[in-house]
Amino acid sequence: MYIDDGCRFIDHQLSEFAYKRDVKKLTDQHTSSLQNLPESQLPTKMKFSIAAFVLTLAASEISSASALAVRAGAPGDAQISCDGDRAKIGQYNGDFSEACVRLVNDCHRTLNNTKSIDVWAHRSCVAGATCSGVNLVSTIAQCDNTAVPGQVRLANLSTAVFEEMTAGCSSKKSCSMSHQNYIDFFYGSLSAINSNVWPNSTDQVTNWWNAITSWTKTGDTIPYHNFNDWLHLVFDANSNPPSPV
C-alpha cells in the first residue's frame, strides 16, 4: 500500500512539473503569435494583457492539483469522476440543451470509432465544447482513451474546422468568426450528424457565443488564434481547470 501511494505521489509531482513546463511553453507560443500579427490584423480589443494571461495560468496551476489527485487515485475513484462528468453533458452556464448532448455524444463516438486523439479536428467536438464546456469534452475523451492529452496539450484547432466556422475563409491571420458565423456553424453541425433535436432558441446559441466573446475580449468577431486559445485555456464554470496531463 505504501509503495503504491508513494508511486502515485511521484507521478503527481512529475505531472505538475510537466504541466508548469507546458504552460510556460504555451504562454510563450501564444504571446509570440500575437506579437507577430500585423497591427492592422489585431482585434480592436486585445484579448487580455500578458500580465492577466500569466495570472490566469497561475490560477490554473494552483487548481490543477485536485484534478491530478483524482487521476492519480484508484481506478474506482477515476470511474466515479468520469461518470460524474458524463452526467454534466449538455449543462453549461446554468442552462441545459439536449441538442448539445447530441453533439457531445457524437464527438466522443467519433473519437472512439476512429481512435483519434485530435479532439479539435472534429466539428462536433468543437461545437459541443461551445455549449457543454471545453474541459468537459476533453476530460471525457481522456476517460475513453488515456492517450488523449489534457486540455492544455491538445493539438491546435484544425484549420479545416475553422474554415467551416468562417464560411469558407481559411486564413489563420485574416479570418475571424462572427456571431452569425457561429450560429450557422452550430446549426450546421447538428445537421451534419442528422440530429432531429435543436436548440430551444437562437437566444440560447447567442448565450454560448457571449460566453466565448466575454473571455476572448475581441469585440464582435473572434480570430483563429483567440478561439484556439479559448479551447486550450478557458476555465469552465461547471468543471475543473484545464487538465495538464
Name the pTM for this structure. 0.71
Identify the residue with better confidence: 53 or 159. 159
Higher pLDDT, residue 23 or 131: 131
Show the cell assigned to 182: 457561429
Domain ranges of the chain: 1-38+48-245
Q: How much is the pLDDT for 81?
A: 84
Mean pLDDT of the chain, nearest integer: 78
Q: Is the pLDDT of residue 54 over 90?
A: no
241 has pLDDT over 60: no
Predicted local distance difference test score (pLDDT) of residue 36: 53
pLDDT at 170: 77
Q: What is the pLDDT of residues 170-219, one digit of tens each?
A: 788 889 999 999 999 999 999 999 999 999 999 999 999 999 999 999 99
The DSSP secondary structure of 184-223, one letter per residue, reads HHHHHHHHHTT-S---S-HHHHHHHHHHHHHHH--TTEEE
Query: Does residue 177 sit in helix, strand or coil?
Result: strand
